[in-house]
Amino acid sequence: MATLCMEESIYNLLPKIVDKPLKAPRYISTFKPHVKRTIEQSKAPWKTIGPARVQVPSPKDFLKKHSKEPKLPKRKKDKDSLKTIEASVPKITDHPIMGVQCTKNFISSNAANVIMGVAKKPQQICVDRRQGDKFVLETSGLLPKYLKKKDYGVTPKYVTKRTEEARRAQEEYDAYVKESLRQRAMKRLSDEERESLLRGLKKNWEEVHQAFQSLSVEIDTLPKKLHKERLETEMKQLEHDIQTIEKHKVIYIANK
């Protein structure tokens, strides 16, 4: 334990000189001159940083107030306007026209116009409150002026037009219904057609019956069974049709 601990000594308080490690020399590429030469050859003015030289404004040419506002040309004096003003005022040397008199009697003409004129009708006004609130009677809706119109009580043209269109559409629909009923009407079968139909059914039954009689006695396969069942079904249907036609003398056929 004593060997691990450092012995106390005054020399241990002295600062120790630390040896700094030496740095390795900086790496310099052997192609550096070639790269510099290539960059200088490819350089161009104003390529990245802007113009090389900019003219600096003079301190005397500073921005002044209203210097950038548009300047209008000076107004020219209009000589004609001065002449008209001068001409409107008579001069001292000008003399009025003498001896011109008017023979019209304005008093009598005004009196005649008033006597012969149509009296002005007062505007119809309605007062509905005691405070004197009034309103024009014509636009109030209280006067029956719409009753005196020329077209009052007359059916409008658009109503007549719509009624005519509805009537025409109804007629077309009725005609379509009649035509469809006529096409689907029942048709009576004549006696000759009934007899020919009956003979044809009997002939078909005989053919099917002959095919049924021609079957083999032993039916042991599935196709033979199906063929026999089909022939039996056809014979039953033909017998039913023949009985129906023989039972009814009058037959109607519906048109599809």
169 and 210 within one domain: no
pLDDT classification of 249: cutoffs 50, 70, 90:
confident
Cα separations in angstroms, 222 against 43, 213, 229? 102, 18, 11
Whether residue 152 is found in the same domain as residue 181: yes
Which of 185, 209, 235 is where one domain is finished? 185
Model confidence pTM above 0.85: no
Total number of domains in the chain: 2
Decide if 30 is inside a domain: no
Domain of 207? 189-254
Give which of 204, 192, 189 is closest to 241, Cα–Cα.
204
Domain contains 238: yes
For residue range 61-113, what is the model confidence (pLDDT) as tens digits? 888 898 889 988 888 776 655 555 556 777 888 888 888 888 889 999 999 99
Residue 226 lies in a domain: yes
Confirm whether 233 is domain-assigned.
yes
The pLDDT, as a whole number, for residue 1 is 46
- Residue located via tokens 């044809």: 200
Query: Is the residue at 164 inside a domain?
Result: yes
* Structure letter (DSSP) for residue 214: T
Q: Give the strand pairing for 125-127 and 134-136.
A: antiparallel
Give tens-digit pLDDT for 131-148: 878 888 888 888 888 888
8-61 pLDDT per residue, tens:
888 888 888 888 888 888 899 999 999 999 888 877 666 656 666 777 888 888
Amino acid at 49: I
Considering the domain architecture, whether residues 195 and 250 belong to the same structural domain is answered as: yes
User: Is position 19 within any domain?
Assistant: no
In a domain, 240, yes or no: yes
Token duo for residue 237: 């249907």
Minimal CA–CA distance to 246: which of 185, 182, 198?
Answer: 198
Residue 94 in domain: no
Report the distance separating Cα 29 and Cα 35, nearest Å. Answer: 10
pLDDT digits (tens, 9 = 90+) for 162-187: 999 999 999 999 899 888 877 777 77
